[in-house]
Amino acid sequence: MTTRQTSKAVVFRHPFVLKGGDRTLPPGTYRVVTDEEQIEPLSFPVYRRVATVISVPADSGNASAVEMVTIDPRDLQATQELDLKHAA
């Protein structure tokens, strides 16, 4: 089975909380990675999302440590929209 991974940077200008999260995260640029697998057998490539994760600062107190938190892309979009509303 063929898989692919895409990565993008997401910027938050205000402190935010991810859905289901237990803490407030600081403003900044966060890396979001999506893993997809190819659906076979089709005559053209089609992929379905397997997982989306966001890298956030670890709650350990170590400034360089990060955690990979699984997130629903729709929840991420909603959180980004809330961040934009705070800017207005």
- Which pLDDT does position 82 carry in this prediction? 94
**Using one digit for the tens of pLDDT, what is the confidence trace for 3-50?**
999 999 999 999 999 988 888 999 999 999 999 999 988 888 899 999
Indicate the pLDDT class of residue 88, thresholds 50, 70 and 90. low
pTM: 0.84
For residue 66, the one-letter residue type is: V
